[in-house]
Amino acid sequence: MIDDDGIFDAFIDPTPEDHKLCRKCQVVKPLTEFNKNSNVGGYRSDCKECSKAHRKQYYADNSDHIKEKNRRYWNKHIEKRKASYREKFPQIQAQRKEYRAKNKDKSKTYNKEWYDKNLKHDKKKQKEKNLKHYFNLTLDQFNDMVKTQDNKCKICTKELDMAKGTHVDHDHNTGKVRGVLCHPCNTKLGWYEKNSTGVENYLSTSTEVDVKDLIPSHAFLH
Mean pLDDT of the chain: 84
pTM above 0.75, yes or no: no
Domain with CATH 3.30.60.130 in the chain: 12-70
Assess if CATH 3.30.70.980 describes domain 136-222: no
Place 63 in a pLDDT band, splitting at 50, 70 and 90.
Answer: very high
> Alpha-carbon dihedral of residues 158, 159, 161, 164, nearest 10 degrees?
-10
Q: What is the pLDDT of residues 148-180, one digit of tens each?
A: 999 999 999 999 988 777 889 988 778 889 999
Amino acid identity of residue 123, one-letter, is: K
Q: What does the pLDDT read at residue 28?
A: 94
Residue 4 dihedral angles phi and psi, to the nearest 5°: -65, -25
Give per-residue burial for 98-123: e unless 16+ CB within 10 Å, then b: eeeeeeeeeeeeeeeeeeeeebeeee
Alpha helical stretches, state H, the chain: 48-76, 78-102, 104-118, 123-135, 139-148, 183-205
Residue 68 dihedral angles phi and psi, to the nearest 5°: -65, -40
Calculate mean pLDDT across residues 108-128: 79
Domain with CATH 3.40.1800.10 in the chain: 136-222
For 88, other C-beta atoms within 10 Å of its C-beta total 11
Q: What is the pLDDT of residues 121-136, one digit of tens each?
A: 677 777 888 888 888 8
Amino acid identity of residue 11, one-letter, is: F
pLDDT(29) > 90? yes
Q: What is the CA radius of gyration of the chain?
A: 31
DSSP H or E run through 178: strand 177-182
By the 8 A CB rule, do 29 and 20 touch? yes
CATH assignment, 12-70:
3.30.60.130
Residue 167 dihedral angles phi and psi, to the nearest 5°: -135, 135
